[in-house]
Structure 1
Amino acid sequence: MSDITLLSHLRQISTPPAPSGAPAQGGNGGFAKALGEALDSVNSAQAEADLAVEQLQTGESRNLHEIMIAMEKADISLKLAVQMRNKVLEAYQEIMRMQV
């Protein structure tokens, strides 16, 4: 069974730091790439759960526990993505409230 925490996803896709002479914004994508891959992971978990439910309905699968596990993984990953979005929006709003 694989770990579905955000930290584990970020560790899998992390890249080595840029050399000291290189500009801060390189061509590797950094945060945007990590965020995109995390969202792709959520999408694939949702698709996997949908496929498992479809297989149960058609009679191809009789392992109800595996289907429930896939559905819960998809639910937890979606909740994590929503909480990440909420935290990013809160941080943005806090920055916008700062006086210059």
Structure 2
Amino acid sequence: MEIQGIQNGIGMAKAFPDMQKSASLGPAEGAGKFFSELVSKVNDIQIQSDKSIQGLASGQNKNLHEVMIAVEKAGISFQFMSQVRNKALEAYQEVMRMQV
């Protein structure tokens, strides 16, 4: 069995294709827009997940597996956003510790 390495979050990049456009902006504007779009996209996924849960509870949606997929997608998206936030915060703290 061959072990394959992680390929720099390629799967998450495919989940958030609109955010790759922000690379052409300036550093400050691009980062702010990236985080804003990330939070917005994760919020939309969370809302869709909540709607699918409500649909299942009310009997409108009878496919439990689709609801579970939506819930897991929302959870993974939130974890991804949290990790991006943590890495950005660590990078900021590292820059602040640098001596001039």
Q: TM-score, normalised by structure 2?
A: 0.77
Give runs of ≥4 in structure 1 deviating > 6 Å. Answer: none
Deviations 1:44-81 (CA, angstroms, capped at 9, x unpaired)? 01000000000011111110000000000000000000
Match of 1:43 in 2: 43
Matches of 1:4 and 1:39 in 2, distance apart? 18
For 2:99, what is the secondary structure of its paired residue?
A: coil
Deviation at 1:36, TM superposition (A): 1.0
RMSD: 2.4
Q: How does 1:79-94 map to 2 (within 5 A)?
A: 79-94=79-94
Match of 1:66 in 2: 66
- The sequence identity of aligned pairs, in percent, is 40
- The structure having more radius of gyration, on CA atoms, is 1
2:34 aligned with 1:34: yes
Which consecutive unaligned segments of at least 5 residues does structure 2 have? Answer: 1-9
1:12 corresponds, among 18, 42, 52, to 18
CA contact (8 A) 2:48 2:70 kept: yes
For 2:91, what is the secondary structure of its paired residue?
A: helix
Which consecutive unaligned segments of at least 5 residues does structure 1 have? Answer: 19-23
